[in-house]
Amino acid sequence: MTKKANVVIVGGGPVGVALAVDLAMRNISCILVESRVGLSAIPKGQNLTQRTLEHFQFWGIVDELRAARVMPPGSPIGEVTAYENLAGDYWHAPPGRELVRSYYSQANERLPQYKMEEVLRAKMDTLPLVEQRFGWTAKAVTQDAQRARVVIEKDGFEETLEADYVVGCDGARSLVRDQAGIERGGTDFDQVMALLVFRSRDLHEKLKRFPERSTYRVMHPELNGYWQFFGRIDVGEGWFFHAPVPAGVTRENFDFQGLLEKATGFPFKLEFDHVGFWDLRVAVAEVYQVGRIFIAGDAAHSHPPYGGFGLNNGLEDAVNLGWKLAARIKGWGTDKLLESYSEERRPIFKETGEDFIASRIKREGTLLNQVDPNKDKAAFEEVWKEWAGDVGWRVEGYEPNYEGSQVLFGPPGGVCSAHGTHTYKARAGHHLAPRKLSSGRSTFDEMGFEFTLFAFGADDAAVKGFAAAAQKLGVPMKTVRDRYDGELKDYEATLILVRPDQYVVWTGDSAPANADAVIAKVVGRG
């Protein structure tokens, strides 16, 4: 028996479900295969960026997501970083993602991943174009020039699923990636980490010495840059904790309460809910596409849970790939457009993993061992001051962009990179920042699942040229016209073409010499 759809998604975690939602909302049929039926209660993936909340905005479920949070509304999301332990004299509570809030249409959010998955699954339940196969396991993935196929199994019964494309969202041990022959590489720290989930009202009370925050990092010279990391699950009782542990540690042979109390610097009462382990490494796939097979999320890239990069990048993968698959299946996109998924997304996470995570671990290990406050207090305090300001670079300097993409008009010599600067100026290859229209609405309120041409004080000929070019190629495009004044002048362009994932593909102050060529390039026909 063979069941057919436009896309088969292997893996029903947050990235797989998000991709299913995105595709179905673009009128693309898909079958989602996931061996798990229920959701894990491990509170990972809590830190959702402003960009991720924009995705939920476009899926129409941002209010549902915020309502699912566990911490009370208004609870701070930032961090405290302390030297040696949480009882010491040296700590700082720097600003976090609020530094870049105005460049996005949504504020960031914090809630356990399983709560977010509940919201995504509930949305998916409303979409008849998604066939859900929870409890089924993918056994084999093959492809030829015309189709891709996935053999799935449940309770000894096998079935073949056939589709135009297969996407592996099946985690770090991805079957899809392995069967497509995709290799991975990256930094392996050869370090075992513990994940502890526990409840303690006592710890909540004892951390009131700090400004209210959701995470607490402990840095110690002995750890060589690795973190001991406390995170709130709620306000008052629930916690999780990551820390390096010696090789060979098991649940039975190690004093985990002692480890926690060394990190806090004081004894406290607690009850454990979970003890687990993971390996500290950064791994990035060599390519994200082989023919009709794609990978996304942890199947494409995995890293330590530092900074919330993994889940947020996985959701960005889903959005980047979703509109391109829809475009190709509907006929106005091309294979070249699909190729741009790997071209755009892989460099982002390679730099994220190596520059924002691996190099940070090494740098902080070096800083910690430069000076000892017991031997040279003044020198240590200078280093500590420098360190406190480092978060600004990590937040403001992380601005994923696709300047080197072949399907947009980036600057000469541009490359796709996780490094960038936040600005209101509309730049090809960059996320469009929201600005207020004369109606009082945001530019983000006007965008949808199609291309959007913003025309501010532009002449009719320029607008008509783009509209005719889009119509000729069957490219869905909406035009938004307004005066070129107020906040809109921050864009420094009167014509801005934005693709369906809210990234700018072209800007100008007058009609292009050939609007047909512009539209053709941004859908992979140029």
Each residue's pLDDT tens digit, 26-72: 999 999 999 999 998 888 778 899 999 999 999 999 999 999 998 88
Whole-number average pLDDT of the chain: 92
- Predicted local confidence at residue 389, as pLDDT: 60
- Predicted local confidence at residue 221, as pLDDT: 85
Q: Residue 40: helix, strand or coil by DSSP?
A: coil
Is-contact 421 447, C-beta < 8 A?
no
Judge whether residue 392 has pLDDT over 60. no
Rounded to 5 degrees, φ, ψ at 498 are -120, 135
Least confident range from 79-83, 145-149, 214-218, 278-282: namely 278-282
Is-contact 418 351, C-beta < 8 A?
yes
Q: Which two tokens stand for residue 90?
A: 């040296």
- Predicted local confidence at residue 369, as pLDDT: 78
Judge whether residue 126 has pLDDT over 70. yes
- Beta sheet of 271-281, edge-to-edge order: 91-92, 79-83, 215-219, 228-232, 238-245, 188-199, 271-281
Confidence of residue 364 (pLDDT cuts 50, 70, 90): confident
Confidence of residue 362 (pLDDT cuts 50, 70, 90): confident
* Average pLDDT of the segment spanning 297-317: 84
DSSP H or E stretch at residue 334: none
What Å distances lie between residue 385 and 92, 94, 456, CA to CA? 9, 11, 45
Confidence of residue 288 (pLDDT cuts 50, 70, 90): very high
Least confident range from 124-133, 274-283, 349-358, 443-452: namely 349-358
* Average pLDDT of the segment spanning 300-305: 80
Beta partners for residue 33, in sequence order:
10, 133
Listed residue (350, 268, 360, 359) closest to 313, CA to CA: 350
- Predicted local confidence at residue 394, as pLDDT: 67
Largest Cα span, the chain: 75
- Predicted local confidence at residue 8, as pLDDT: 98
* Average pLDDT of the segment spanning 391-409: 86
Beta partners for residue 25, in sequence order:
none
- Predicted local confidence at residue 393, as pLDDT: 58
Helix residue spans in 369-477 (DSSP H): 377-388, 390-396, 443-446, 460-473
- Predicted local confidence at residue 395, as pLDDT: 73
Close Cβ partners of 311 (under 8 Å, ≥ 6 residues apart): 14, 15, 44, 45, 48, 52, 113
Judge whether residue 390 has pLDDT over 70. no
**Higher-confidence residue: 259 or 94?**
259
Out of 117-121, 212-216, 378-382, the most confident range is 117-121
- Predicted local confidence at residue 295, as pLDDT: 98
Radius of gyration (C-alpha) of the chain in whole angstroms: 24
- Predicted local confidence at residue 278, as pLDDT: 83
Q: Determine the residue type at 284.
A: V
